[in-house]
Chains A and B, each alone.
Chain A
């Protein structure tokens, strides 16, 4: 296939291998080393995209990641990626790209009708219109706007490719692999320091491979190759190509993304598509180069108008002529290189327009190329619609004439790429000598070199890079190994863009922000309406808010606002850029944390056994808990749950309680410590006893509950709720280390170290007795209710046995080291079989705790006090504890607060719902009559009806009253009887066995 604009020779492409690819369904050919943009240009494709608002035809403006125009959808199906910059998309065989934001086709886009309405669609017009009638906004105006806006389309299915994240530590991070960055990496690397060199491009060299330059007597591209080869051989140096450093964060942390597989059709097996790097660097050298900027003239967005530096990159790096008849328009001496390179490539130079006065360098180049030379002039307008056909040139005397051309190479000067210097608050400084912003403050440990620091000469970039690299390594304790940069063929070229910023408009729109279609007129309108600060300008016109984040637009926009308002540029302001430097795939930031791997999964010791039993599991925080154990013939969870509850209440059941938090508390002051953190007293509790405990936050609200057992004189064992295990542990360590540092006490979390099973029911003692080794008395006398003892089970396995009950039945909690957990559940089931044991899950547990009125997460919701929970009487009057003082505030001690009570439906066949609110009978269902809410409900087999717990205003005084439980979100309205919050064995006989 022909590539009409491919030069006969030159470029860093592999001409021996053709790569077929498609754009909008048409097949083209390129070569390894091409980007999609260079390959399209080689094939003579100049119309690549449509702009955001006016749907204007757009081509390729740049050769890098700052590209505002040439955005495409890459790949198809679930791998479809919107808004890919063709200028950085590496070509591979079979690449499929489509233009976006057009309908029905790129060449014929109906929405280009917006251009006709562009006199209306100026900056901020939305704010002035679409207000009437109000209800049409969501129904009509907004959907139309949304459909027209946006750019590419996201995929509609889950991204099939994997991503990963990694952390790296280094002495010196070098950002950018151009001349300054290579010099820095070599200088640092030769000292033996750990160096990471990251460059967003797939080839190192930066401008070295985009220009025809010489270094140390050889081509600069060759020198870059050799530098890369040496770096690859230095053992402590890591070179990350295709890696964009996106952001600087506190503490020398940098975020970067490596496009591991984007240059392949799809990732190789076991390889991620992209890898997110957290790079922790002691020192950083920013060598990010500079970005060329536009000049605002009419039609400056026409395909074929291209940055001069990009023109040179396409000629020299890719062997592509972006046009055959060129006009060069510049305000700096870079124009001379552009002219020379175009001439060397055999392109016709129609005209060279220098906005400045006479320039000897340019004179020579233009004469050699035989070009018409216009000093002090301007390109007033480019024309041609979908590709440039000519431009109107104004000379210094104001005369104008048209020339035919198919390429306008523009340079409005260069802006140092200082984005990363601003991420931690560094404020760029305007430098008149550069006519650009240069780094102000930098993140700690960062040095900026080369063009990024405003040193545009090749020789000075190499020297500064070498010096910064060596100094950074020295700062990290490395020395020796020297690097003398090669001699550069530097000229003393003037690279300042000295204006003008714009050409007085004749016809055609002059664009400032290409992608967002912000024109000079929009900036003028913003100024007229008072949006004169940079922040207002940006937000009102959307200047700098496109996918290139204003890399090509911001300084021009600021300069125009300064000009319009008669202020200097620094007085007009500056826009701090935000991370990321270039857009980053959300998949990369998410890494492997998606789907089932979103969060870790914790499995209790009986999990695999429970799986064998066919248990149904439920996510509880990070834990997977067995919810219920269905048997053949059971049809729903409720039937199974009722059977499990009844088995416990009549025979015996077993439940894996290992998910409760467990904390070992030891030390001479362990009892005193617990007295500080619980409302009740544990220092006087006898050894071998356990008791329920409640702890408060310092603000007097209930924090968590659990049991505390005393295993020895100086040894306690504390349990927490499953949900609060980590936060309670943190709280206790805070109390121990910070509030009560003089106490002799130590804490260890042993949640994962012990497996624990609750064995509950009238036959539970039989099961426990069968497990306990000889000589351990588990009779009521040997282990009465609330007793604790250490013993061995199953022939010598160390265990702890607690006579505690959550279910209200006689019950034991049997704990063994976690590695025996699986064996123990099997042993319990075997020992229990003669007594009719069944395993029960979280559902049955919940039913039984509600039947007993025990508070759980729904009641301990962070808004309730001990008194609200009916536990006010537990609070010791003899001692202080965390939260005691503030729990006495009038608002918390108010007797009118909702208190925990029980509820039964008056019509016993009706179902109760958690989250229902209580209103008095006969009262309107309004907030004024809201008296509380239902927290937990369950079907109680023992009561033969639904029962509930909830908080009702002055509930403890209203036992026997009937109120309504209203549930408007589920159309529920049930009359309920207020009862004491205990539905089974209110006297507590059964637990005592």
Chain B
């Protein structure tokens, strides 16, 4: 008898028989000739979409096609932060919806993705930044999202290792969202995959989409390295490569691909208990449950598909870290890597229909994609199932660039490398 429900009891039972009874977390099916819905991209967003299609909308004749191994893209190479501390009305409800889905994720999936609501603290260093963060915190509160403004004494209690006394840019306080935190990123992909598979979704790995079959403006299916797969609807969830995939359907997107580097140190004993972003440098940090400091900074700033970056950004990030918390001078960087971001032209994502009937787009996540995973899947599933945008994702339209109803949190305009 094999074990498929996860719990401490099943683990103990399996421990007694050498863990020989565990089933594969997901099947490895051959693609069927046709599906109701084919999702292109076996990352977090694609797998979450499949899960919610099955669980919420009862649509299970679904395939997720992935060119490599599931979870091998950005869901497996990010800094694991989740938060809903957004400013603009187009964003806040969406990310809050995501936060609520994170909060119930483990029960929903029967998979412990280690959602850790340890708080997210954004430091500010000037009166102007304080007002800007107050504006954001107030926007969050008006949306029913938790937010608080911390003064320096409170901050010193939470983050005693910060350089308060000798800093080039003195710390004046912070915006905190207590419900923000971190999630074990790989587990998100695996948990969604296992749950979707359990409801009948086919997860087809090593299956690269090479083209779309479109007739009279309507999608008929996808050409893949494993043959043609028919589909009534096709959803693209392949951020990082959205432009390349959409180009096969004749679409040109408001997106550039850029490399974002991430960093992890050697494991150390608990050092920092929250997520912290440095408002005067390009640096943010948290600590994984395994002990590594996980941190990052800005994107490298030039179009790239190379999944790696260069020294100027690496040094910039380290300088930010040393300026913020000089006690990490002797902690060692273990590994750094790059992921490819879909940088949209206003810094916000797209969940929408495309001009091709039956072809739907989920793209442009910039570096906010990980925290968005559950809501992205939820809203994309809603769109695919009902043909109408979900209310919390209603602003993520492709035509907003034409209408001027942009969602530009940072206010830097159509220059993706500044978002």
Tell me if chains A and B make direct contact, with any CB pair below 8 A. Answer: yes
Residues of A within 8 A of B132 (CB): 858, 861, 915
Residue interface mask A523-547, B partner, CB < 8 A = 1: 0010011110101100110100111
Instruction: Check if A913 is an interface residue, CB within 8 A of chain B.
Output: yes
In B82-108, the 8 Å CB interface with A consists of 89, 92-93, 103, 106-107
Residue interface mask A120-159, B partner, CB < 8 A = 1: 1010011111111010011000110111011111111111
- Rounded to whole angstroms, the CA-CA distance of A936 and B135 in the bound complex is 11
Closest chain A residue, CB of each to CB of B193: A530
Instruction: Check if A922 is an interface residue, CB within 8 A of chain B.
Output: no
A200-208, A674-682, A815-823, A884-892: which lies at the interface: A884-892
B18, B127, B268: the one contacting A154 at CB < 8 Å is B268
- Rounded to whole angstroms, the CA-CA distance of A153 and B334 in the bound complex is 15
Minimum distance in angstroms from B67 CB to a CB of chain A: 12
Contacts A533-B69, A535-B76 given: A159-B330 contact, CB under 8 Å?
yes
- Rounded to whole angstroms, the CA-CA distance of A586 and B149 in the bound complex is 30
Instruction: Check if A700 is an interface residue, CB within 8 A of chain B.
Output: yes
Instruction: Check if A672 is an interface residue, CB within 8 A of chain B.
Output: no
Instruction: Check if A781 is an interface residue, CB within 8 A of chain B.
Output: no
Residue interface mask B120-152, A partner, CB < 8 A = 1: 000001111011111111110111100111000
Is B269's CB under 8 angstroms from A151's CB?
Answer: yes
Among B114, B147, B290, B333, residue most surrounded by chain A Cβ atoms (within 10 Å): B290
- Rounded to whole angstroms, the CA-CA distance of A927 and B413 in the bound complex is 24
Is A129's CB under 8 angstroms from B147's CB?
Answer: no
- Rounded to whole angstroms, the CA-CA distance of A473 and B10 in the bound complex is 64
Instruction: Check if A765 is an interface residue, CB within 8 A of chain B.
Output: no
A80, A424, A597: the one contacting B330 at CB < 8 Å is A80
- Rounded to whole angstroms, the CA-CA distance of A698 and B333 in the bound complex is 41
Is A585's CB under 8 angstroms from B330's CB?
Answer: yes
Residue interface mask A269-306, B partner, CB < 8 A = 1: 00000001010000000000000000000000000000
B10, B270, B402: the one contacting A889 at CB < 8 Å is B402
Residues of B within 8 A of A889 (CB): 402-404
Minimum distance in angstroms from B122 CB to a CB of chain A: 12
Minimum distance in angstroms from A751 CB to a CB of chain B: 21
Is B268's CB under 8 angstroms from A128's CB?
Answer: no
Residue interface mask A879-918, B partner, CB < 8 A = 1: 0000000100111110000000000000000000111110
Is A584's CB under 8 angstroms from B166's CB?
Answer: no
A153, A250, A915: the one contacting B130 at CB < 8 Å is A915
Is B329's CB under 8 angstroms from A915's CB?
Answer: no
Instruction: Check if B408 is an interface residue, CB within 8 A of chain A.
Output: yes
- Rounded to whole angstroms, the CA-CA distance of A165 and B184 in the bound complex is 35
Among B139, B269, B400, residue most surrounded by chain A Cβ atoms (within 10 Å): B269
Residues of A within 8 A of B106 (CB): 131, 134, 137
- Rounded to whole angstroms, the CA-CA distance of A198 and B195 in the bound complex is 51
Among A52, A127, A968, residue most surrounded by chain B Cβ atoms (within 10 Å): A127
- Rounded to whole angstroms, the CA-CA distance of A618 and B405 in the bound complex is 36
Instruction: Check if A926 is an interface residue, CB within 8 A of chain B.
Output: yes
Is A539's CB under 8 angstroms from B76's CB?
Answer: yes
Instruction: Check if B314 is an interface residue, CB within 8 A of chain A.
Output: yes
Minimum distance in angstroms from B152 CB to a CB of chain A: 15
Instruction: Check if A863 is an interface residue, CB within 8 A of chain B.
Output: yes
Is B134's CB under 8 angstroms from A970's CB?
Answer: yes
Minimum distance in angstroms from A338 CB to a CB of chain B: 31
Residues of B within 8 A of A579 (CB): 335-336
Contacts A128-B10, A586-B328 given: A858-B128 contact, CB under 8 Å?
yes
Is A917's CB under 8 angstroms from B139's CB?
Answer: yes
B56-64, B222-230, B316-324, B379-387: which lies at the interface: B316-324
Instruction: Check if B331 is an interface residue, CB within 8 A of chain A.
Output: yes
Instruction: Check if A396 is an interface residue, CB within 8 A of chain B.
Output: no
Is B311's CB under 8 angstroms from A278's CB?
Answer: yes
Is B330's CB under 8 angstroms from A587's CB?
Answer: yes
Interface residues on B, range: 35 or more
Residues of A within 8 A of B330 (CB): 79-82, 154-155, 159, 585-587
Residues of B within 8 A of A152 (CB): 268-269
Residue interface mask B20-41, A partner, CB < 8 A = 1: 1011111010000000000000
Contacts A146-B270, A583-B266 given: A858-B131 contact, CB under 8 Å?
yes
Is A594's CB under 8 angstroms from B326's CB?
Answer: yes
Is B112's CB under 8 angstroms from A130's CB?
Answer: yes
Minimum distance in angstroms from B71 CB to a CB of chain A: 8
A535, A619, A914, A915: the one contacting B170 at CB < 8 Å is A619
Is B269's CB under 8 angstroms from A150's CB?
Answer: yes
Is A586's CB under 8 angstroms from B186's CB?
Answer: no
Instruction: Check if A331 is an interface residue, CB within 8 A of chain B.
Output: no
Is B291's CB under 8 angstroms from A927's CB?
Answer: no
Is A968's CB under 8 angstroms from B138's CB?
Answer: yes
- Rounded to whole angstroms, the CA-CA distance of A926 and B128 in the bound complex is 24
Closest chain B residue, CB of each to CB of A698: B414
Is A578's CB under 8 angstroms from B336's CB?
Answer: yes
A528, A586, A601, A890: the one contacting B322 at CB < 8 Å is A586
Residues of B within 8 A of A598 (CB): 167-169, 281, 319-320, 322-323
Is B413's CB under 8 angstroms from A862's CB?
Answer: yes
- Rounded to whole angstroms, the CA-CA distance of A423 and B168 in the bound complex is 34
Instruction: Check if A599 is an interface residue, CB within 8 A of chain B.
Output: yes
Is A969's CB under 8 angstroms from B25's CB?
Answer: no
Minimum distance in angstroms from B283 CB to a CB of chain A: 10
Instruction: Check if B118 is an interface residue, CB within 8 A of chain A.
Output: yes
Residues of A within 8 A of B327 (CB): 78, 154-159
Contacts A138-B116, A594-B322 given: A151-B267 contact, CB under 8 Å?
yes
Instruction: Check if A161 is an interface residue, CB within 8 A of chain B.
Output: yes
Minimum distance in angstroms from A311 CB to a CB of chain B: 27
- Rounded to whole angstroms, the CA-CA distance of A82 and B8 in the bound complex is 34
B18, B127, B322, B404: the one contacting A891 at CB < 8 Å is B404
Residues of A within 8 A of B92 (CB): 927
Contacts A530-B26, A598-B167 given: A701-B413 contact, CB under 8 Å?
yes
Instruction: Check if B310 is an interface residue, CB within 8 A of chain A.
Output: yes
Is B322's CB under 8 angstroms from A530's CB?
Answer: no
Is A423's CB under 8 angstroms from B137's CB?
Answer: no
- Rounded to whole angstroms, the CA-CA distance of A248 and B409 in the bound complex is 35
- Rounded to whole angstroms, the CA-CA distance of A481 and B291 in the bound complex is 52
- Rounded to whole angstroms, the CA-CA distance of A155 and B134 in the bound complex is 34
- Rounded to whole angstroms, the CA-CA distance of A892 and B408 in the bound complex is 13
Minimum distance in angstroms from A255 CB to a CB of chain B: 6
Instruction: Check if B354 is an interface residue, CB within 8 A of chain A.
Output: no
Residue interface mask A79-119, B partner, CB < 8 A = 1: 11111000000000000000000000000000000000001
Residue interface mask A586-622, B partner, CB < 8 A = 1: 1101110111111101000000000000000011100
Is B24's CB under 8 angstroms from A969's CB?
Answer: no
Instruction: Check if A430 is an interface residue, CB within 8 A of chain B.
Output: no
Instruction: Check if A857 is an interface residue, CB within 8 A of chain B.
Output: yes
Instruction: Check if B11 is an interface residue, CB within 8 A of chain A.
Output: yes
Minimum distance in angstroms from B27 CB to a CB of chain A: 8
Is A131's CB under 8 angstroms from B110's CB?
Answer: yes
Residues of B within 8 A of A967 (CB): 134, 138
- Rounded to whole angstroms, the CA-CA distance of A248 and B266 in the bound complex is 20
Instruction: Check if A930 is an interface residue, CB within 8 A of chain B.
Output: yes
Instruction: Check if B410 is an interface residue, CB within 8 A of chain A.
Output: yes
Residues of A within 8 A of B271 (CB): 154
Minimum distance in angstroms from A531 CB to a CB of chain B: 7
- Subset of 21 A-B contacts with CB under 8 Å: A83-B267, A119-B18, A126-B114, A127-B111, A149-B291, A158-B166, A158-B327, A159-B329, A249-B310, A249-B311, A425-B308, A521-B19, A539-B76, A578-B336, A585-B333, A586-B318, A595-B326, A698-B413, A862-B410, A926-B144, A930-B89
Binding site for B on A (CB under 8 A): 52, 78-83, 119-120, 122, 125-132, 134, 137-138, 142-143, 145-147, 149-159, 161, 163, 165, 249-250, 253, 255, 276, 278, 423-425, 521, 525, 528-531, 533, 535-536, 539-540, 542, 545-547, 549, 578-580, 583-587, 589-591, 593-599, 601, 618-620, 697-701, 857-858, 861-863, 886, 889-893, 913-917, 919, 925-927, 929-930, 933-936, 966-970
List the 8 closest A-B pairs by CB distance, nearest first. Answer: A862-B411, A915-B134, A159-B329, A891-B404, A150-B291, A914-B131, A587-B329, A889-B404
